Structure 1
Amino acid sequence: MRSAPMLTSLLRNRDYLRLFTAQVSGLFGTGLTTVALGLLAYDLAGGAAAGVLGTALTIKMLVYVTVAPIVAAYADRFPRRAFLTALHLTRAAVVLALPFIDQIWQIYVLIAVLQTASAAYTPTYQAVIPDILPDEREYTRALSAAQLAATMETLLSPMLAAAALTIMSFHWLFVGTAIGFAVSAALVIATRIPDATATSGDSFRERITVGLRIFAATPRLRGLLGLNLVVAAAGSIIMVNTVNYVRDTLGGTQTGVAMLLAANGFGTMLVALSLPRVLDRIGARPVMLTGAAILLAGLGAAIALSLAGSGGWRWGAAIAVWATVGVGTAAILTPTGQVLRSSSQPADRPAVFAAQFSLSHLAWLLTYPVTGWLTTTTGFTTTWVTLAVFATMGITVARRMWPRHDPEQVIRLHIEPHPQATADQRPELAAAA
């Protein structure tokens, strides 16, 4: 893979290496906490765990959608090393407290605090990178590495959690994650991070909307919005329903939960490792639309499984469904960074990546509460049929908005390439084909 030597050259920079390691640790910590949270919700709420988890994850997505753009708009106005360190330590403290709670409302409060810190961390981290890597080519590679890390967290967290759950109680996942956040804080403290000079050249509205305007003006990015909905619709089954399905329908234990999560992770890994060569040959659009079709097929198989009778064969069928969802998810998420890069100029790239961060989580903000609340009130079949309808809508949007013969068109909304740029260096708005 061509990205390997590029990443290796980046990691020779010690400050970037420390920050990147802290970022990866934080991403995987958040992913593992989400898995452990499902088991904690089942301990506290039993059969109503899907509703509890759906609400908790809705809070997470709501915070991501609202907090991240605001922090991104003002990321150059904080003492950044202290701020990043405080965010890691806040997450460590919250995660360490989760195993000791005994009320459902406490989950909601702690998740709100945890995800506020996580949502604030990402745009602040992105604003630091230009100062650590002033060379434009290295900066672009760092954006790619950040996208790769976020994608791999989504793909690998279920598998890592599954492996851990086979040898320990889910409570220890919280403890291990807290230790990881503390290590990340130490790495940030050891990093030289200059404070940026605050700028006043752009209004708050301009700062938070430039990425959204590029999405609205670019056909392939409008298509990506539909694919985000497909991923969220199918992924909600994995994140919200796995615990209840294993414990209440299949009669399994924590080990059974780990087995289905591992099947999902295996499907994602299988595709993620084989995709680069395919992408070079046929491009992102066919691969991502195929992934969307696979996810819709997985939802159809899940609906059929929910209507089937009892029997030990359902374990094998469930493993196949969960793996299928993993395959389709990887086929969409893995090329996403390439699509974002090809749709933006270097100066606009941070805004485009930030917009994808918020817009993709907006799709989850729709599917998480629907999955949790419908499962609790109507059961799996109605819930999964509803998610299949969402996925169908997403595929329709993607196919119509992303033309088959996609022109190499990049919308240029020039903004400050670095946080320290002054007002008189701010280019004027321009659009070009």
Structure 2
Amino acid sequence: MMILLPLKNADFRWLFLSQLVSLLGTGLTTVALALFAFDLNPLEAGMVLGAALAIKMVAYVTVAPVVGGYIHRLPRRHWLVGLNISRAVLVALLPLVAEVWQLFGVIFLLNVLAAGYTPVYQALLPDILPDEKEYTQALSLSRLAMEMESLLSPALAAVLLLVMPYTVLFELNGLAFILAGLALLLAKIPVSRATDRSAGVWQQVSFGMRSYLKTPRLCGVLALNLALSAAGAMIIVNTVVYVRSVLGLGEQQVPLVMIAAGVGSILAALMVPDLLEKYSARTIMLCGGSGLSLALFSGLLMPGYAGLFPIWLVIGFASSLVLIPTGLVLRNSCREQDRNDYFSANFALTHGMWFIGYLLAGWVGSHLSISWAFACMALLALLATLLAWQVWPVNDELEMWHEHVAKDHLHPHVHDEHHQHEHEGWEGPEPHEHPHYHARQRHRHRFVIDEHHAHWPKQ
């Protein structure tokens, strides 16, 4: 299969193995956490899990940009391995928790570490796989692994729970994180390229967010992630409500219908690499947003149990159409040395969209009705898709004509198309830092927001 071609790269194989092992361990913990929350507070287990989900999003949104601004100063291999070991220790401590507030504290720390890990891992893949076709296939393979984990982890957990208490699942997750760290040690992880920014703390931390939001195509990506969160939150938050309360069925029917979304996502993951060879990322992702909207609007028909399966399947399929090309769009929208910043910004901002989706789906479904929840989330997905269509230019060229004004400034630099000046001999090897002058010029190259391009050019 074409999607398996990136596995020929030995370094990617170790990275992918690390992802698989950690995903499987995290899936076991997800099951164990629900049972643990019930033991801690049987009357309010749902509220505890909901609060834990909110804590997760807060950790993601606040920590990821800080990591993105400063990870270039740290060795990525040691950083990723250290975070895996730290997560192993924390998750192994979960069985010792006796109070709900202690559970919240451990969950917050776990997700702080995840916010420091995931975007750095994602930004690493383009360095390991510089070929665009292989990178796209790797994105689909990673998505396929995530969906397979979501299908297999509950089944594996159910088998393990027949012979051991659920608390052992936490220890197995700790072991999985250690094995993931060992796999990373076997991969050759390139050192981050030095950034040319010399600004203060706030400028370093906010650079990724500011640059992301100044890039029209990435604003389109963010809007489509809002559409995705509307549909995804409907599945995660309200599937159990629809099946149990609206249809009056048993709890056994809940996971079966949720599997449909996973199947749809897997089907799309297998197709996206070929689709990207024929169509632009913009076209594919907008089709995904439209599919999410249509699926949610069809929920207004209030289908029976069998009718819920195709709706959830379409949502899963459309979700992958939005998610998988995102990494490719990010890769093409930033310089190599700024990837950590952009991927961290995307991680934080898109999880902010999920935070909105969770809150809205839960509140409307609980205080109004499921039909109102379908209507609100469908309208949100439609408006978000229309916004993406508006802000993401149809003729979205990577290379653009633009003009630089004359200026003097000071920052670390190499002698590229923006730095052609003479030296006196004391400046040292590149990248070096000294006051230098930029003459006024107009030229064309792959345009991204960075130290020398603070605003998107008007076409």
> Where on the TM-score scale, by shorter chain, does this alignment land: which range?
0.7 to 0.9
Of the structure 1 ranges 334-343 and 286-295, higher mean CA displacement relative to structure 2 is found in 334-343
How far 1:235 sits from its partner (Å)? 0.6
**What is the root-mean-square deviation in Å for CA atoms of aligned residues?**
4.2
How far 1:156 sits from its partner (Å)? 3.4
Distance change in 2, residues 1:405/1:126 (3 Å)? closer
CA contact (8 A) 1:287 1:331 kept: yes
Report the TM-score when normalising by structure 1. 0.78
Name the one with the larger helix percent. 1
How far 1:107 sits from its partner (Å)? 4.1
For 2:367 and 2:105, locate their aligned partners in 1 and report how far apart those are by CA, in whole Å: 24
Distance change in 2, residues 1:192/1:215 (3 Å)? closer
Instruction: Report what 1:311 is aligned to.
Output: none
Corresponding residue pairs, total: 416
SS in structure 1 at match of 2:452:
coil
Instruction: Report what 2:440 is aligned to.
Output: none
Alignment partner of 1:406 out of 396, 402, 405? 396
1:429 matched to 2:452:
yes
Name the one with the larger strand percent. 2
For 1:100 and 1:249, locate their aligned partners in 2 and report how far apart those are by CA, in whole Å: 38
SS in structure 2 at match of 1:74:
helix
For 1:79 and 1:326, locate their aligned partners in 2 and report how far apart those are by CA, in whole Å: 36
Of the structure 1 ranges 377-386 and 115-124, higher mean CA displacement relative to structure 2 is found in 377-386
For 1:416 and 1:116, locate their aligned partners in 2 and report how far apart those are by CA, in whole Å: 32
SS in structure 2 at match of 1:362:
helix
How far 1:211 sits from its partner (Å)? 3.0
For 1:255 and 1:268, locate their aligned partners in 2 and report how far apart those are by CA, in whole Å: 22
How far 1:100 sits from its partner (Å)? 7.1
For 1:331 and 1:289, locate their aligned partners in 2 and report how far apart those are by CA, in whole Å: 8
Alignment partner of 2:281 out of 280, 284, 289? 284
* Unaligned runs of at least 5 residues, structure 2: 405-410, 415-429, 437-449
CA contact (8 A) 1:68 1:123 kept: yes
For 1:173 and 1:296, locate their aligned partners in 2 and report how far apart those are by CA, in whole Å: 37
Of the structure 1 ranges 70-79 and 318-327, higher mean CA displacement relative to structure 2 is found in 70-79
Within a 5 Å distance, the mapping from 1:233-248 to structure 2 comes to 233-248=230-245
Q: Deviations over 1:349-404 (max 9, x none)?
A: 33322222222111112122333344444453343333223212211211111133
Within a 5 Å distance, the mapping from 1:204-215 to structure 2 comes to 204-215=201-212
Instruction: Report what 1:297 is aligned to.
Output: 294
Instruction: Report what 2:330 is aligned to.
Output: 340
Instruction: Report what 1:356 is aligned to.
Output: 346
Whichever residue aligns with residue 407 of structure 1, its letter is: E
CA contact (8 A) 1:294 1:324 kept: yes
How far 1:162 sits from its partner (Å)? 4.7
Distance change in 2, residues 1:201/1:285 (3 Å)? closer
Whichever residue aligns with residue 350 of structure 1, its letter is: N
1:10 matched to 2:9:
yes
Distance change in 2, residues 1:334/1:185 (3 Å)? closer
Instruction: Report what 1:156 is aligned to.
Output: 148
Distance change in 2, residues 1:424/1:28 (3 Å)? farther
Within a 5 Å distance, the mapping from 1:324-339 to structure 2 comes to 324-339=314-329
Distance change in 2, residues 1:316/1:175 (3 Å)? farther
CA contact (8 A) 1:340 1:352 kept: yes
For 1:194 and 1:281, locate their aligned partners in 2 and report how far apart those are by CA, in whole Å: 32
CA contact (8 A) 1:75 1:127 kept: no
The share of aligned pairs that are identical, in percent, is 33
How far 1:21 sits from its partner (Å)? 2.7
Q: Deviations over 1:38-62 (max 9, x none)?
A: 5655676779655443322221111
SS in structure 2 at match of 1:238:
helix
Whichever residue aligns with residue 174 of structure 2, its letter is: A
For 2:280 and 2:193, locate their aligned partners in 1 and report how far apart those are by CA, in whole Å: 40
How far 1:226 sits from its partner (Å)? 0.8
Q: Deviations over 1:59-85 (max 9, x none)?
A: 111111111111222224557655534
Within a 5 Å distance, the mapping from 1:175-194 to structure 2 comes to 176-188=172-184
Whichever residue aligns with residue 265 of structure 1, its letter is: G
For 1:336 and 1:196, locate their aligned partners in 2 and report how far apart those are by CA, in whole Å: 21
CA contact (8 A) 2:229 2:357 kept: yes
For 2:189 and 2:278, locate their aligned partners in 1 and report how far apart those are by CA, in whole Å: 40
Whichever residue aligns with residue 208 of structure 1, its letter is: V
CA contact (8 A) 1:51 1:372 kept: no
Q: Deviations over 1:204-237 (max 9, x none)?
A: 3343333334333332221111101011111112
Alignment partner of 1:57 out of 37, 53, 57? 53
For 2:331 and 2:14, locate their aligned partners in 1 and report how far apart those are by CA, in whole Å: 24
Within a 5 Å distance, the mapping from 1:77-92 to structure 2 comes to 77-78=73-74, 83-92=79-88
Whichever residue aligns with residue 215 of structure 2, its letter is: T
For 2:334 and 2:400, locate their aligned partners in 1 and report how far apart those are by CA, in whole Å: 6
Q: Deviations over 1:311-350 (max 9, x none)?
A: xxx3212222221210110111122222223333434433
For 2:269 and 2:345, locate their aligned partners in 1 and report how far apart those are by CA, in whole Å: 23
How far 1:416 sits from its partner (Å)? 8.1
For 1:301 and 1:99, locate their aligned partners in 2 and report how far apart those are by CA, in whole Å: 43
Distance change in 2, residues 1:189/1:411 (3 Å)? farther
For 1:105 and 1:368, locate their aligned partners in 2 and report how far apart those are by CA, in whole Å: 22
CA contact (8 A) 1:246 1:253 kept: yes
SS in structure 2 at match of 1:334:
helix
CA contact (8 A) 1:55 1:369 kept: no
For 1:282 and 1:415, locate their aligned partners in 2 and report how far apart those are by CA, in whole Å: 39
Within a 5 Å distance, the mapping from 1:219-298 to structure 2 comes to 219-250=216-247, 255-298=252-295
CA contact (8 A) 2:412 2:432 kept: no
Distance change in 2, residues 1:344/1:84 (3 Å)? closer
CA contact (8 A) 1:229 1:364 kept: yes
Distance change in 2, residues 1:246/1:101 (3 Å)? farther
For 1:158 and 1:248, locate their aligned partners in 2 and report how far apart those are by CA, in whole Å: 24
Whichever residue aligns with residue 110 of structure 2, its letter is: L
For 1:221 and 1:262, locate their aligned partners in 2 and report how far apart those are by CA, in whole Å: 30
How far 1:410 sits from its partner (Å)? 6.2
For 1:423 and 1:244, locate their aligned partners in 2 and report how far apart those are by CA, in whole Å: 60
Distance change in 2, residues 1:96/1:397 (3 Å)? same
Q: Deviations over 1:12-33 (max 9, x none)?
A: x4xx644443244334544564
